[in-house]
Structure 1
Amino acid sequence: MPSKHSKSPSSASPLDRRSFLRYLGAGAGTAAWVAAPIGAAATSSKSGPAAAAATEPEAHSADWSLTDGMPAWKPVASPVPSPGSFADPSLDKTRLHRFEVVDDMLLPEGFAYRVLAGWGDRFGPDAHRVQFGYNNDYTGLVPIEGTSDDFYLFVNHEELSSRPWLQGFTQYHGGRAPRVAIRPDAENPKKPRLEIAGTLMPTHACDLSDFGALSKELQAEIRYLCEQGLGDLGISVLRIRRSAQGHYSVVQDATDHRRISTFSTQNIDPAVVAKFAMDGPAASVAKAGPGTFGNCSGGTTPWGTFLTCEENIQNHVNPLIKADGSLFPRKEKLGASPSFNRAGEVDARTPEPTFIAGMGAGLKQPLDGRGYGWVCQIDPKTGLMAKHSMLGRFRHENVALRCQAGKKLAAYMGDDRRGGHVWKFVSRRTVADPKDPANWNLFGEGTLYAAKFDAGYGGRWIPLQLDTPLAEPQPQHTASQHLFLPRRPDGGHVAVGVAGAKRTEQTPADWMAAVSAFAGKPFDQCTLGDLVSAPEGMTGAARDRYRMGVLLMDAYAMAGAAGATPASRPEDLEVHPTDNSVYIAFTDHTGGGDGSPDLRVFPDGKGDSSRMYGGIFRIVEEGDRPDATKFGWGRFVPSGEVSDEGGGFACADNLVFDPKGHLWMVTDISTSVLNQPVDRRKGKTKPGGSKFPGVFGNNSLFFVPTHGPGAGTPFCFGIGPVECELTGPTFCDGGRGLILSVQHPGEVNGTRRAARPEEERNYALTDRRGEPFQQTRKVPLGSNWPSGTLDQTPRPCVVVIAREAPQRG
Structure 2
Amino acid sequence: MTPALGTRFLPITPVASVGAHTRASRDPMTCLLRCGSACDHPEPNRSEHAHVQDEIAKVVGRRGVLRSALLGGTVLAAGGALAGEAAAAPARAQSRDLTRSWFRPVRPNKRHAVVTATGFTSSVVVRWGDKVVAGAPTFDAYRQTVEAAKTQFGYNCDYVGLVPLAGRTDEALLVVNHEYTNENLMFPTGVYTADEVKRLAMYNHGMSVVRVRQGRTPGSWKQVKVLSRCPENRRLHLDTRFRLTGPAVGDPRLRTKADPRGTTVRGTLNNCAGGMTPWGTVLSGEENFNQYFDAGAGVPAEYAAEYARYGITGAGKGWGTVEPRFDLSQEPHEPHRFGWVVEVDPSNASSVPRKHTMLGRFKHEGANIIIAKNGRAVAYMGDDERGDYLYKFVSREKMDPSGTRAARRHNLGLLTAGTLYVARLSGDGSADGQHDGTGRWIPLCDENTSYVPGMSVADVLLFTRLASDKVGPTKMDRPEDVEPNPVNKKIYAALTNNSNRGTEAMPVDEANPLATSMVRSALGEPLTAASGNRNGYVLELTEDGDRHTGRAFSWDLMLVCGDPAAAETWFGGFDKSKVSPISCPDNLSFDSRGNLWISTDGNVLGSNDGIFRVPTSGPERGRVVQFLTVPAGAEACGPLVTDGDRSLFFAVQHPGEITGATFEEQASTWPHTDDFPRPSVCVAYRDR
- 1:194 aligned partner: none
Measure the CA separation in 2 of the matches of 1:255 and 1:7.
Answer: 55
1:179 corresponds in structure 2 to 193
User: Any residues of structure 2 matched to 1:375-454 within 5 Å, and which?
Assistant: 375-383=341-349, 384-404=352-372, 406-433=374-401, 436-437=407-408, 438-454=410-426
What is the CA–CA distance in structure 2 between the aligned matches of 1:642 and 1:697, rounded to whole Å?
Answer: 14
Tell me if 1:298 matches 2:222: no
CA displacement at 1:710 relative to structure 2: 2.4
Q: 2:439 aligns with which of 456, 459, 472?
A: 459
Q: Residue 133 of structure 1 corresponds to which residue in structure 2? A: 154
Contact 1:321–1:327 at 8 Å: present in 2 too? no
State how 1:16-27 maps to structure 2 within 5 Å: none
Contact kept, 8 Å, 1:311 with 1:397, in 2: the verdict is: yes
Q: Which residue of 2 aligns with 1:75?
A: 105
Question: Alignment partner for residue 802 of structure 1, among 676, 685, 688?
Answer: 685
Q: Does the Cα contact within 8 Å between 1:61 and 1:734 map onto a contact in 2?
A: no
Amino acid at match of 1:317: F
Matched, 1:782 2:670: no
| Partner in structure 2 of residue 64 of structure 1 | 98
> How big is the shift at 1:152?
0.9
8 Å Cα contact 2:83/2:564 also seen in 1 = no
Post-superposition CA distance 1:39-89 (Å, at most 9, x none): xxxxxxxxxxxxxxxxxxxxx9753244xxxx611111115xxxxxxxxxx
CA distance in 2, matches of 1:163, 1:595: 38
Give the direction of change, closer, same or farther, for the CA distance of 1:708–1:596 in structure 2 (3 Å limit).
farther
State the secondary structure of the residue aligned to 2:562. coil
Give the superposed CA RMSD. Answer: 3.7
Counterpart Cα distance in 1 of 2:370 and 2:396: 14
Are 2:312 and 1:315 aligned?
no
Amino acid at match of 2:377: L
SS of the equivalent of 1:634 reads strand
Post-superposition offset of 1:331: 9.2
1:655 maps to 588
Shift of 1:592: 8.1
Name the SS of the counterpart of 1:701 in structure 2: strand
2:243 aligned with 1:233, yes or no? Answer: no
- Alpha-carbon separation, structure 2, partners of 1:5 and 1:710: 28
User: One-letter code of the match for 2:245?
Assistant: D
CA distance in 2, matches of 1:459, 1:376: 28
Offset, 1:147: 2.0
From 122, 138, 150, the counterpart of 2:131: 122
| Percent identity between the two aligned chains | 31
Rg (Cα) greater in structure? 1
Distance 2:618 2:684 in 1: 25
SS in 1 for 2:516: coil
* Aligned mates of 1:412, 1:395 — CA distance in 2: 14
Q: Which amino acid aligns with 2:193?
A: R
Query: C-alpha offsets along residues 264-285 of structure 1, whole Å, 9 cap, x if unaligned?
Result: 24xxxxxxx5xx3111112132
Whole-angstrom distance in 1 between the partners of 2:82 and 2:363: 41
1:250 aligns with 2:223: yes
The question of whether the paired residues in 2 share the 8 Å contact of 1:615 and 1:638 is answered with yes
Q: State the 1:703 CA deviation.
A: 1.2
Aligned to 2:624: 714
Deviation of 1:795 after TM superposition, in Å, equals 1.2
Is the CA contact 2:438–2:554 (under 8 Å) kept in the aligned structure 1? yes
Q: State the distance in 1 between where 2:438 and 2:610 align.
A: 32
- Answer yes or no: is the 8 Å Cα contact 2:448–2:457 preserved in 1: no
- 1:70-127 Cα deviation digits (max 9, x unpaired): x611111115xxxxxxxxxxxxxxxxxxxxx210001111111111111111134328
Q: 1:328-727 counterparts in 2 under 5 A?
A: 357-359=317-319, 362-366=322-326, 368-383=334-349, 384-404=352-372, 406-433=374-401, 436-437=407-408, 438-456=410-428, 457-465=437-445, 528-530=452-454, 532=455, 547-591=456-500, 599-607=508-516, 612-645=534-567, 646=569, 648-669=581-602, 693=604, 695-727=605-637
Q: Where is the helix percentage greater, Structure 1 or Structure 2? A: 1
Amino acid aligned to 1:697: S
Is there any run of 5+ residues in structure 1 with no aligned partner, and where?
19-59, 80-100, 170-175, 181-220, 266-272, 336-356, 471-526, 533-546, 675-692, 756-780
SS of structure 1 residue aligned to 2:482: strand
CA distance in 2, matches of 1:753, 1:126: 27
Q: Residue deviations 1:390-442, cap 9 Å, x none? A: 10000000111112574221000000000110000001112231854221101
Kept after mapping to 1: 8 A contact 2:396/2:417: yes
- Compute the displacement of 1:318 (Å): 7.2
Q: 2: CA distance between counterparts of 1:592 and 1:412?
A: 24
- Write the distance in 2 (CA, Å) between the matches of 1:631 and 1:662: 22
Change (3 A) 1:238 1:659: same
1:697, distance to aligned residue in structure 2 (A): 1.5
Residues 388 and 719 (structure 1), Cα distance of their counterparts in 2 relative to 1, 3 Å cut: same
| Secondary structure of the corresponding residue to residue 717 of structure 1 | strand
Deviation at 1:548, TM superposition (A): 0.9
Q: Which runs of 5+ in 2 are unaligned?
A: 1-67, 88-93, 138-149, 255-261, 429-436, 520-532, 572-580
Instruction: Using the TM superposition, give the Cα deviation of residue 728 of structure 1 relative to its aligned residue in structure 2, in angstroms.
Output: 1.2
Deviation at 1:261, TM superposition (A): 4.1
Q: How far apart, in 2, do the equivalents of 1:17 and 1:623 lie? A: 41
Task: State the alpha-carbon separation in 1 of the partners of residues 206 and 245 from structure 2.
Answer: 20
Aligned to 1:24: none
Inter-partner Cα distance in structure 2 for 1:177 and 1:593: 48
How high is the TM-score relative to the length of structure 2? 0.71
Partners of 2:372 and 2:441 in 1: how far apart?
20
1:159 corresponds to which residue?
A: 180
**Contact 2:383–2:390 (Cα < 8 Å) also in 1:** yes
- 1:107-118 alignment runs, 5 A limit: 107-118=116-127
CA distance in 1, matches of 2:419, 2:98: 38
Shift of 1:639: 1.2
Alpha-carbon distance in structure 1 between the residues aligned to 2:85 and 2:683: 34
2:476 partner SS:
coil
Q: Contact between 2:492 and 2:541, CA under 8 Å: does it hold in 1?
A: yes
Alpha-carbon distance between aligned partners in 2 of 1:323 and 1:550, rounded to the nearest angstrom: 14
* C-alpha distance in structure 1 between counterparts of 2:470 and 2:126, whole Å: 44
